[in-house]
Each structure stands twice: as C-alpha cells, then as structure tokens.
Amino acid sequence: MPSHKVNLSGDWWASWQTFKDAEEVITAQEVQFRQQGDLISVQTTTRGIEVEDGGYHWRGELRVWDNEVLMGWYAADDGSVRSKGTMYFVLHPHGQRMDGRWVGMSHDGKVVTGWGGIARTEDEARAAIARLKD
C-alpha cells in the first residue's frame, strides 16, 4: 500500500536560541534523523559550539503527527551535561524545514525555553531563529 507519510530521514541542521549565564546564544549543529513510520530518532553529529561555551551532543526522539507537527524529547549524550527537555516543531508543508520551540533543563535553570529551527542547511536553520524572534 502506498504511504503518504513524509520521510524526514537524513542529515539536517538544527539551530537553537539558548542562554548561558543569562546571555542569549544562537547555535547551529548538524543532526541526523532516522525515521521508522511516525517515529524519528535524532542524534547530533556536531556540538555546534565549543564545550566551554555550552556545546554538547544530545539524542532524542520526535513523533510526526498528521505530517505537520513533530513532538518529542531530547537528552544530553555528552559527559556530565544534564540538559534534557521537550521539543515541538511545525513542519513546512513541503517538508523543507521545521520551526518550533524547546523547553527543558539547562545550565541556566530547571525550566528554560527558546526557539528552534531545523532545515537542510545551516543558513536556513539560522534564518528560522531570526524569523521566529521577529
């Protein structure tokens, strides 16, 4: 039977509005999506920024709902970093990018949030943050 589900497997760039010592930091890092049905395993392939500046590897899962919303979780996968939380993204109608938000525990507190953008290129992912901040 043909499937009309979007396939998001592959290499992506994730950009994040985050904070370190109460100062905004915009990061971008490469991530890999492995999709099976509605479930996507996510794993970083780069930290994006140096460890001293708050960069770390993480892994997580996203679930695709109705080919338009992705919801899931993430957890640090790098040394003693304790960051973890949730992600919510709205998928572009053609599957080209995702705009959303993260909420979680970080160096700056137990409940921190910021914008997130995922796209096929670093420039497109960073542009999502700028667009969401406006």
Q: How many CA atoms lie within 13 A of 15 on its CB side?
A: 21
pLDDT at 108: 86
Query: For 55-103, what is each residue's pLDDT tens digit?
Result: 899 999 999 999 999 999 999 998 888 899 999 999 999 899 999 999 9
The answer to whether residue 54 scores a pLDDT higher than 90 is no
92 lies in some domain? yes
**Total domain count for the chain?**
1
Over range 13-38, report the average pLDDT.
Answer: 94
Residues 6+ apart with CB under 8 A from 10: 32, 33
Instruction: Give pTM, 2 decimals.
Output: 0.92
- pLDDT score of 79: 80
Is residue 3 predicted with pLDDT exceeding 90? no
91 part of a folded domain: yes
What CATH number is given to the structural domain containing 60? 2.40.128.30
Residue 21 within a domain: no
| Alpha carbon 27 to chain centroid, angstroms | 11
